[in-house]
Amino acid sequence: MSEATAAAAFVRRRPPARVRRRRLVSVVANHCILIAVAIAFLAPFAFITLTALMTNSQALSSNFWPHPFRFQNFVDVFSKAPLWRWTLNTMLYSGLATLGVLVSSVPVAYALARLRWRGRNLAFMVVLVALMLPPQVTVVPLYVMWAKFQPFGFNFIGTLWPVIIPNWFGDAFSIFLLRQFFLTIPEDYIDAARVDGCGEVRILATVVTRLAKPALAAVALFSFLFTFNDFFLPLLYTGTSPHNWVLSIGLSQFRSFHQVQWNLTMAATLLVMAPVIVLFFLAQRAFVEGVTLTGVKG
């Protein structure tokens, strides 16, 4: 025993100066590199912001600093293009899709994690496969399907519904995530509830409301982010109907609106980035926990 403590005490003594110096150099180098990379990461934001405050002619020249600062640009952006309309569309899409994902993925994930049935593993494999296949694989027939399906003469093409509706029937990524999470809920907890005579539905409800909040928050966050940033699917279905554009489509087309200039384009870019970044600062812990959840449980 005393030997171990003696050994520990030996290890804890100050290492020789040479080693200390080497460690200091490595720490300083580490910091320097990190700071350099951090500056490189922040630089684009700085450039975009500065350009957003310039006049058009300045934006077309190689000036760095706006002369004068034109905050008016942020207001002009709204008059040049229907930014409010796009924001509304985006909120509609993201909101409804996220809600649908939550509602539909939870029972599926639970069934895959906590109910025992034949074919469960196969079903999970199917979910994994669906997760990995690119959307381009199914995109053509889906478009045809929505184009031909016109109940009461209502046309789905040109609206956001073809993008929203599938989210109400389960989303592979969310199912995967939730299933991994549900697997971590102790078996005995659920067994106890079963013995008490709770129906599975009731168990699910209790588990969801009491235990799964961080996972649900992560799923909601990712779903919201994904739909907020979604470009390909909205492009397909609403690309030719400007009044239904979401922010990502509108922003990409911004420069063709009445020949708008780069300074306004950058201002619009900043405005589109802003909500997500604000959301991040408000819900930082949820973000990081969520991201970690995907990686660790994945």
The reply to whether 82 sits near other proteins by the rule CB under 8 A is no
**In Å, how far are 109, 138, 168, 232 from 127, measured between CA atoms?**
10, 15, 15, 22
Stretch of 74-82, 179-187, 198-206, 208-216 lying at the interface with other proteins (CB under 8 A): 198-206
The reply to whether 84 sits near other proteins by the rule CB under 8 A is no
Q: Which of residues 131-150 bind other proteins (CB under 8 A)?
A: 131-145, 147, 150
Give how far the C-alpha of residue 46 lies from the chain's centroid of Cα atoms, to the nearest Å: 23
Find out whether 221 and 287 touch, Cβ atoms under 8 Å: yes
Q: Which of residues 102-131 bind other proteins (CB under 8 A)?
A: 104-105, 107-108, 110-112, 115, 117, 123, 126-131
Q: Of 160 and 249, which has the nearer Cβ to other proteins? A: 249
The reply to whether 72 sits near other proteins by the rule CB under 8 A is no
The reply to whether 71 sits near other proteins by the rule CB under 8 A is no
Q: Which residues make Cβ contacts (< 8 Å) with residue 144, sequence separation at least 6?
A: none
What's the CA angle centered on 234, arms 229 and 236, to 5 degrees?
Answer: 135
The reply to whether 221 sits near other proteins by the rule CB under 8 A is no
Name the 3-class secondary structure at 86. helix
**In Å, how far are 73, 92, 136 from 86, measured between CA atoms?**
18, 10, 25
Q: Which of residues 6-45 bind other proteins (CB under 8 A)?
A: 26-27, 30-31, 33-34, 37-38, 41-42, 44-45
Q: Of 214 and 242, which has the nearer Cβ to other proteins? A: 242
Take residue 71 and report the two structure tokens written for it.
């905050």
Q: Which of residues 165-184 bind other proteins (CB under 8 A)?
A: 166, 168-170, 175
